[in-house]
Amino acid sequence: MKIVTWNVNSVRARLPRLTPWLEDVRPDVVCLQETKVVDELFPREPFEELGYNLVISGQKSYNGVAILSREPIENPVYGFPDDDEDAQKRVIGGVVGDVVFLNLYVPNGSTVGSDKYEFKLDWLERLHRFLSDEYDIGEKIVVTGDFNITFDDRDVHDPERWHEKILCSTLEREALGKVMDLGFIDALRKHHEEPGIYTWWDLRGGSFWKDHGLRIDHFLMSPAALEACSSVTVDRDQRKGKGPSDHAPVVAVLD
């Protein structure tokens, strides 16, 4: 089973690049973030024509998540249990075969100490509670998406410049660490210990060509899922050329 996470920064704007890539790579499950469209306007047809089932949860202008899957998606999950009606659309999940998926768009947090930063930390606590209450770490679980957090300085092109900055600060790393303590493992690090593997580069200032990147898109796997995971790779080519997202897709294979 080939699994993808990709923050596409608008599913409609990315279609010309997304659908040919799906035809080429042929993933089984695709977790998208920042779809930036309400459900009624989501472009379902191009994906259904490629043979995908969809679950979507979007809103106007911001956020939005979706899962595409060749096999049916059972037991869909939309948001946190304690979300209210106007909650930001950042969580979608479901079960494909014997694999439990949760696809997340973690809040960015803006700047350390801001209201948005506090919202991010609170949101991560709610994520922890949700996973702790409603998921069984003994199953094959894949929690993936745009976490907007680097695990450590290996994930940062210039750790001094980013020291205690947003996406790299101690409190958000600790909040993610608490989630990991439920028994999840950073799947990419099973296969790659070296620094310098990134998934996001700012669109501004030619960051990609300077390789000024961060690794903020992750696959958190339960032990049973990790056992089956034979590779995790970043498709940097999708950050190249005309009209890229600021994120590259990350591809994991479960045997």
Given its phi and psi angles, is residue 164 left (phi above 0), alpha (psi -120 to 50 degrees) or beta? left
Choices 22-30, 67-75, 135-143, 200-208; region in contact with DNA by CB under 7 A: 200-208
Measured from the CB atom, the residue of 72 and 209 that comes closer to DNA is 209
The yes or no reply on residue 53 touching DNA (CB under 7 A) is no
28, 117, 135, 146: the catalytic one is: 146
User: Which residues, 88 to 127, sit near DNA by CB under 7 A?
Assistant: 107-108, 110, 116
Q: Which two tokens stand for residue 199?
A: 């998934």
x-or-dash pattern for DNA, window 202-221, by CB under 7 A? xxxx----------------
Rounded to whole angstroms, what are the CA distances from 38 to 1, 21, 108, 126, 160? 29, 23, 20, 24, 39
Measured from the CB atom, the residue of 26 and 60 that comes closer to DNA is 60
Give me the residue label for tokens 């994991």: 252
Got the DSSP string for 131-179? HHHH--TTSEEEEEEE----SSGGGBS-HHHHTTSTTT-HHHHHHHHHH
Closest approach of Cβ 27 to DNA, in Å?
22
The yes or no reply on residue 37 touching DNA (CB under 7 A) is yes
d(CA 103, CA 26): 19
Measured from the CB atom, the residue of 1 and 166 that comes closer to DNA is 166
Would you give the DSSP letter of residue 247?
A: B
Note whether 113 and 154 are within 8 A (CB): no
Choosing from 23, 49, 164, 243, the residue that interacts with DNA (CB under 7 A) is 243
Note whether 200 and 236 are within 8 A (CB): no
105, 117, 135, 198: the catalytic one is: 105
- Amino acid present at 141: I
Measured from the CB atom, the residue of 140 and 239 that comes closer to DNA is 239
x-or-dash pattern for DNA, window 122-151, by CB under 7 A? --------------------------x---
d(CA 219, CA 230): 13
The yes or no reply on residue 60 touching DNA (CB under 7 A) is yes
Measured from the CB atom, the residue of 108 and 231 that comes closer to DNA is 108
Q: Does residue 105 carry a catalytic annotation?
A: yes
Residues carrying an active site annotation? 105, 146
Give the footprint of DNA on this chain (CB under 7 A). 9-10, 12-13, 36-37, 60-62, 107-108, 110, 116, 148, 202-205, 243
